[in-house]
Every structure is written in structure tokens, then in C-alpha cells.
Amino acid sequence: MANSPKTRRLPERRLPVPATASAELQKACAQPLDAAIEIIEREPQDLDDWRKTLALYDQASRLRLEKLRQRFPVQSRAETINGVTVYRLTPSRIAPENPARSLVHFHGGGFALAGGELGTGEGILAAYHGQIEVFSVDYRQCPDHPYPAPLEDALAVWQALAEEFAPQNLGLIGASAGGNLMLALVFKLRELGLPLPAALACCSPWADLLAQGDTINTLQYVDSAAISYTGLIAGMAKLYGGAGDWRDPLISPVYGDFTGFPPTLLISGARDLFLSDTVRVHRQLRRRGAWADLHVFEGLSHAEHLYLFDSPESEEIFGEIRRFFDQFLAQ
């Protein structure tokens, strides 16, 4: 993260819990961060350290996924599409308007966390609330597979699905690193002259690995989920971007030309460390004449609706996503 030439000194303060948020979200906002800060601020030092750290995070993700699957029953079946593992997520009921529609899901996790079935949580929620089939892509991840491997996998799956289904019936959905990947995929498809998806639901995209956004600083330690860009998250940026040009839109999509982009729904929260990334993508889309809608939820941290999946905020967000795709996907 580049040093700013000027800074403003702030007085020490205690942050109130937002009374305007749901009871579930208020409880999350009130949780102390002491133990989490110690973990998030430490960047693993070598490959073995990275593997141990990622395994600890994935252990917590496994427990959360089991709770989510019990609450939202969706059939999950692993398939191989164009050489890439994909989980086909099918809800018990497909809405009458959705038999020919599908969503392609790219999970978050800093391009390193929540691989395999652990990455399907957001896809399960989208399938359940949207009553639509979802293909959740298990793209290769760091530390073994940095850029461009995840994008290559995303492209391979999209090409196969766009041949099997009409592209105008397909939408993309993803959060954080998954949001980065879907935006980069559209740039790549446009570069190659391939069909674009009909619409994108992009939740708090990690759109700038250079961490130039304002809220990376202003919401540090305010965000209950991402918490701080220092340490672990900055380390994952190094793993993914490597020695490449981090201003390349295929690595940091916010620096791209969004001309001709499909309709895009952007979702973030008022306590989201990556709120500025989301806002900047929205402005780039609007400057290039694309249809773009930005929703910022009160008191919500980075992609927190995926963890607080029983909260009113989560239900409302997936309701917005369902209405969005219903508007822009062909039948």
C-alpha cells in the first residue's frame, strides 16, 4: 500500500454499535477484535507458514458451511467442465422463470482461501434465494497457482457453459476475490471477442490490489470481517499478483475500461474495508455509460452477509440479487 504524502491525525475513540442495523448485525459489530487483529496483521513468512495459516481459516469455513447447508438445503454435485472442477448447485425448487437460466459463481477468499466445496457458500445462498441453478467454479488458487491460473479456469468454464446455454441466459455472481475474477473475466471475453454474460452481481469486489481506495484506511479496524489490509490480505495480494503489473485490469479491474459492460449490480456495506473498491468500480461503469446500481447496507462489513446468512441484511441482499437477475436474464 503506497504511503500518502499527507495524513490527518485522528483522536482515539470507541466505536458505537449501529442501532440502525439488525439485532444479528449489531451483535457482530459488538464483538471484540483483539484476537482477530493478531491473526490478520501477521503475514505468513514462507510456503509452509502459508499452508498452515490457510488450513486454519479453512477449518473455520468448514464449520460455517455445514451450518449454512443445514439451513439452506441445496443439492451439490461436483462436475468437471473443460478441465475445471465445478459444483452444480440445484435448489429444491426452480422458479417458473428460471428453467433456462443459470448463474456462474466465483467464490471469494483472497485467491487462496475456501477452495473446493468450501467455496460454495455464496452459490448455495444464491441458488436457494433465487430458486435458480448455480455453477460454482473451483478455480485453482494460491500459493500454488497465482495469476493468471484462476482467470484461465474462469474463462475455460465460461466458454463451455456459453456453448451449452445461451449467454443471454447466464449471469455471473461473486464476492471479494470472486468479484475481481468476474470483472477480469468480462475484460478477457471482450478482448477475445467472445460472448459476454447477460448481467453481473458483484459483491464488494477486491478490485484494486494496489489498495488505493480511501476506505482501506478509514475503515481499518471498523470492518469486522476483513478488519485490515495489512498482513494476511496484503500477503495474498503478493501471492496472486506476483511480479506482474498490478495496474493490469486483469489483476486490478478498477483500472480497466468498462465500455460495453453488461448491467452490473454492486453491493457493499457502510463498514466494508473494500467499500471504496466497490464505489470506484460503480463510478467507472457509470462514466462509460454502463447500467450499474450500487447498494450500500448499513453497518455491514466486508461480504458479511455471507457469514450472517440468517440476518435480515443477508435475506434482503439476495432478494435484490434475485430481482436484478430476473430483470436482465433472458428466459
Q: Which position has the grid cell 446455454?
A: 165
Are 301 and 226 in contact by the 8 Å Cβ rule? The answer is yes
pLDDT given for residue 1 in this prediction? 46
Pinpoint the alpha helices (H) of 22-92: 23-29, 34-40, 47-71
Q: Is 48 exposed, middle or buried (0-12, 13-18, 19+ CB in 10 A)?
A: exposed
Which positions ≥6 away from 36 have C-beta within 8 Å? Answer: 227
Sheet of 292-297: strand order equals 74-81, 84-91, 133-137, 102-106, 170-175, 199-203, 264-269, 292-297
Of 112, 111, 244, whose CA–CA distance to 180 is shortest?
111
The C-alpha atoms of residue 45 and residue 124 are separated, in whole angstroms, by 34
pLDDT given for residue 4 in this prediction? 56
Q: Which position has the grid cell 430483470?
A: 327
The three grid cell numbers given for residue 230, joined into one nine-digit string: 495489512
Q: Per-residue confidence of the chain (331 residues) as pLDDT tens digits?
A: 445 568 888 888 889 999 999 999 999 999 988 878 888 999 999 999 999 999 999 998 999 999 999 999 999 999 999 999 999 999 999 999 999 999 999 999 999 999 999 999 999 999 999 999 999 999 999 999 999 999 999 999 999 999 999 999 999 999 999 999 999 999 999 999 999 999 999 999 999 999 999 999 999 999 999 999 999 999 999 999 999 999 999 999 999 999 999 999 999 999 999 999 999 999 999 999 999 999 999 999 999 999 999 999 999 999 999 999 999 999 8
Are 89 and 75 in contact by the 8 Å Cβ rule? The answer is yes
Q: CA 297: distance to chain centroid?
A: 16
Which positions ≥6 away from 180 have C-beta within 8 Å? Answer: 205, 206, 207, 252, 253
Report the DSSP pairing between strands 84-91 and 74-81: antiparallel
pLDDT given for residue 172 in this prediction? 98
Phi/psi for 177 (5° steps) reads -60, -30
pLDDT given for residue 111 in this prediction? 98
Which positions ≥6 away from 168 have C-beta within 8 Å? Answer: 198, 329, 330
- Give the CB-side neighbour count of residue 29, counting CA atoms within 13 A: 24
The three grid cell numbers given for residue 32, joined into one nine-digit string: 471484540
pLDDT given for residue 5 in this prediction? 63
Instruction: Write down how long the chain is.
Output: 331
Q: Could you give all domains of the chain from N- to C-terminal order, each with its CATH number?
A: 28-328 (3.40.50.1820)
Of 324, 329, 330, whose CA–CA distance to 129 is shortest?
324
Of 55, 89, 54, 93, whose CA–CA distance to 69 is shortest?
89
The three grid cell numbers given for residue 231, joined into one nine-digit string: 498482513
Going 112 to 44 to 303 to 191, the CA torsion angle's sign is: negative
Pinpoint the alpha helices (H) of 219-311: 232-241, 275-287
Going 162 to 202 to 220 to 54, the CA torsion angle's sign is: negative
The C-alpha atoms of residue 49 and residue 43 are separated, in whole angstroms, by 9
